[in-house]
Amino acid sequence: MLDGIAGRVALVTGSGQGIGRATAERLAAEGAHVCVNDIDAERADAVARAIGGLALPFDASDASAVREALIRCERDRGVVELLVANHAHMTMAPFLAQNEADLARTLEVNLLGTAWLLQLCVPAMAKRGYGRVVAIASEWGVTGWPNASAYAASKGAIIALIKSAAREFAASGVAINAVAPGVTDTAQLDVDAADAGLTHEQMVEAYSRDVPIGRIGRASDVAATVAFLLSTPAIAFVGHVVAPNGGSTRL
């Protein structure tokens, strides 16, 4: 068991599936009281039931909805002490073909949603003298990626946001970091597959050829990294970008 997780209140956004779900499950196994968020209420409810958590369906890009969810979380579970900003919106298209609505939605969900969560959660952590925040960025936010300009830009901006916020709040006992996974085998990979004209399985095989360990990431790989960064010893990590990607990029 990791020190500092059991008994604490955790909020994991976008945890109805994929990396978010694996993270919620890992934190629950570590003894945290997990609030499960997803924009899809049925998915949030299903995961919450499975792990004994609290379902909080909301759209992370809506600051008012985030605020209302945090009020309910505090009433039913307590103040959020561990925050995982995992929510994401992604489409793929050549940059010049990216329509305005998709570009705006990607930035609103990924970047602004993370900003609202930080603004609304971190002050209470700082007041209590303890908190841990992990934002899920992406390897593509570091390297860029063709046909994923908006997504990569939003994830790169999250990294800058996290680095800046980490410097502001570290002295208050709040450790803020980012995890930048490489390609991971989740439902989101279907977006890549559709863009490439491949099946999910073919996309996994194609991406795996470029990873030194011979396979793409698993949601459990990322969840394990996040869990460590949420633990008490992780106070030594301030504004870091940790990259569980099998060696495809070394930050």
Neighbour tally for 64: CB within 10 Å: 10
CA pair distance 37, 178, nearest whole angstrom: 19
From first to last of its 251 residues, the chain has per-residue pLDDT tens of 899 999 999 999 999 999 999 999 999 999 999 999 999 999 999 999 999 999 999 999 999 999 999 999 999 999 999 999 999 999 999 999 999 999 999 999 999 999 999 999 999 999 999 999 999 999 999 999 999 999 999 999 999 999 999 999 999 999 999 999 998 898 888 989 998 999 999 999 999 998 999 998 899 999 999 999 999 999 999 999 999 988 888 76
Which amino acid belongs to residue 20? G
The pLDDT score that the predictor gives to residue 159 is 98
The pLDDT score that the predictor gives to residue 242 is 96
Listing DSSP states for the chain in one string gives --TTTTT-EEEETTTTSHHHHHHHHHHHHTT-EEEE--SSHHHHHHHHHHHT-EE----TT-HHHHHHHHHHHHHHT-S--EEEE---------GGG--HHHHHHHHIIIIIHHHHHHHHHHHHHHHHT-EEEEEE--THHHH--TT-HHHHHHHHHHHHHHHHHHHHHGGGTEEEEEE---SB-STTHHHHHHHHT--HHHHHHHHHTTSTTSS-B-HHHHHHHHHHHTSGGGGG--S-EE--STTS---
Model pTM? 0.94
Token pair in block for residue 190: 């279907």
Catalytically active residues are 151
**What are the extents of the domains in the chain?**
9-182+218-242, 185-216
Residue burial 189-202, b: 16+ Cβ < 10 Å; e: rest = bebbbebeeeeeee
**Class assignment of domain 9-182+218-242?**
alpha beta
* C-alpha of 194 from chain center: 23
The pLDDT score that the predictor gives to residue 251 is 64
The pLDDT score that the predictor gives to residue 179 is 98
User: If 0-12 CB within 10 Å is exposed, 13-18 middle and 19+ buried, where does residue 5 land?
Assistant: buried
Could you tell me which of 46, 52, 13, 12 has the C-alpha nearest to residue 29?
52
CA pair distance 184, 220, nearest whole angstrom: 10
The pLDDT score that the predictor gives to residue 227 is 98
Which residues share a beta bridge with 242?
Answer: 179
